[in-house]
Amino acid sequence: DSIAEGSNRALDAVGPIAGATISLFYRPERTPLTLPSIVALTLICSSSGFYLFLYFITVGYALGVAVPVLAALIAYNLQHKPKLSALTNVHSGLVVAWGVRAAWFFLYRERVSWPELHTKVVEVNKTARMNAKLFCWLVFSSFYVAMMSPCLHRLNSPDAAWGALGKLAIGIQSFGLFLESVADYQKCKFKSEPGNRNRWCHEGLWKYSTHPNYIGEISFWVGTFLGGIGCYKTTLHWVGSIIGLLFISTVMRGAISSLGAKQLRKYGNDVEFLEFRRTHSIFGPFRWPPQPKESVSL
């Protein structure tokens, strides 16, 4: 029948991971992907942390979000006639693009651009116990499902209007992905140049913000959350989506604090760096409240 033919074409087009997902979880007579199916797929894709512990928050993070959203996007498009709206496809498609880019970046940085990082990742893995890996796998995967839930609610509400807020959300998503991608590229390129590995990056977007990649990440997920508004039909929908946004915001806040302390230890004798940190923040060339010259915060 036509559904079977469509499934076969999709299997040829999207590769083995997405194809296997459709084969296992797609059920045309009901909601294309149930919540247990999404959770199971997230657990599978984030399980790379059992290979290297920190992959739970790098490669496993990226794939654990992107692959289930890709599978849901394909399955819902196969079910709905006519197809989902362009904005609905873009909303989830941007999350897939974010995950593919992030996974590639994590692996490139570790394996090509910064081989010493891979050595550190291996050393951390040697000290990680199985019970810690199991705990992180289950907890992080739960949060990853919460983070992607705005996409799932939007896909499950194909007739919901987008409106001005929804269109703004797509813009915020796009801006965040662009900002994070450019910032990561600029810093990776700078650090890859001879003699720059242990130098402070102060080029491109890094001239204007202490952490432009993190503000891009936060913006992207704020946009993803806002894009689901109008499709949160129950209190549970709201709570789950808010938990996902709070989770990534908390992670980013912790990363900013941790990296800021590390940079102060590493570049604390650089007068130009200290002045930059006194006058700039993650949001750009200003701080509130202003800091005296003898004070530098994270």
Give per-residue pLDDT as tens, 114-136. 999 999 999 999 999 999 999 99
Q: What's the pLDDT score for residue 13?
A: 41
Q: Give the whole-angstrom CA distance, residue 217 versus residue 224.
A: 11
- Indicate the residue type of 154: R
Burial 150-163 (b: 16+ CB within 10 A, else e): bbbbbbbbbebebe
* Residue 130 token pair: 């199985």
pLDDT at 168 over 50: yes
Confidence at 292, pLDDT banded by 50, 70, 90: low
Token duo for residue 211: 């952490």
The DSSP annotation for 21-46 comes to: HHHHH--TTS-SS-HHHHHHHHHHHH
* Continuous segment of H or E residues that includes residue 133: helix 130-155
pLDDT band at 14 (very low <50, low <70, confident <90, very high): very low
Q: How many CA atoms lie within 13 A of 180 on its CB side?
A: 23
Least confident of 10-14, 28-32, 254-258, 286-290: 10-14
- The reported pLDDT for the residue numbered 290 is 59
Cα distances (Å, whole numbers) of residue 83 to 71, 75, 187: 15, 11, 40
3 — pLDDT class (breaks 50, 70, 90):
very low
Side-chain-facing half-sphere of 298: CA atoms under 13 Å: 12
User: What is the DSSP code (8-state) at residue 200?
Assistant: P
- If phi > 0 it is left, if psi is from -120 to 50 it is alpha, else beta; for residue 196 that is alpha
Please check whether residue 153 is in contact with residue 228, taking contact to mean a CB–CB distance below 8 angstroms: yes
Question: Quick one: pLDDT at residue 9?
Answer: 46
Written as six digits, the tokens of 186 are: 């600029």
Q: With helix as H, strand as E and coil as C, how does 250-293 read?
A: HHHHHHHHHHHHHHHHHHCCCHHHHHHHHHCECCECCCCCCCCC
Q: Cα separation of 269 and 253, whole Å? A: 25
Other C-beta atoms within 10 Å of 93: how many?
A: 16
Query: Does residue 298 carry a pLDDT above 70?
Result: no
> Mean pLDDT of all residues in the chain?
88
The answer to whether the CB of 68 falls within 8 A of the CB of 42 is yes
Beta-carbon neighbour count of residue 168 at 10 Å? 14
Give the whole-number percent of the chain exceeding pLDDT 70. 86
Model confidence pLDDT, tens digit, residues 178-237: 999 999 999 999 999 999 988 999 999 999 999 999 999 999 999 999 999 999 999 999
Per-residue model confidence (pLDDT) at position 23: 46
Question: For the chain, what percent of residues have pLDDT higher than 90?
Answer: 73
pLDDT at 29 > cutoff 90: no
Q: Which of 234, 85, 215, 87 is nearest to 149 (CA)?
A: 234
Q: How confident is the model at residue 295 (pLDDT cuts 50, 70, 90)?
A: low
Cβ neighbors of 145 (< 8 A, separation 6 or more) are: 35, 38, 39, 42, 68, 240, 244
The pLDDT confidence band at residue 294, using thresholds 50, 70 and 90, is: low
Q: What is the pLDDT of residues 75-112, one digit of tens each?
A: 999 887 778 999 999 999 999 999 999 999 999 999 99
Signed CA dihedral, 45, 48, 54, 58: sign only: negative
Q: Is residue 24's pLDDT more than 60? A: no
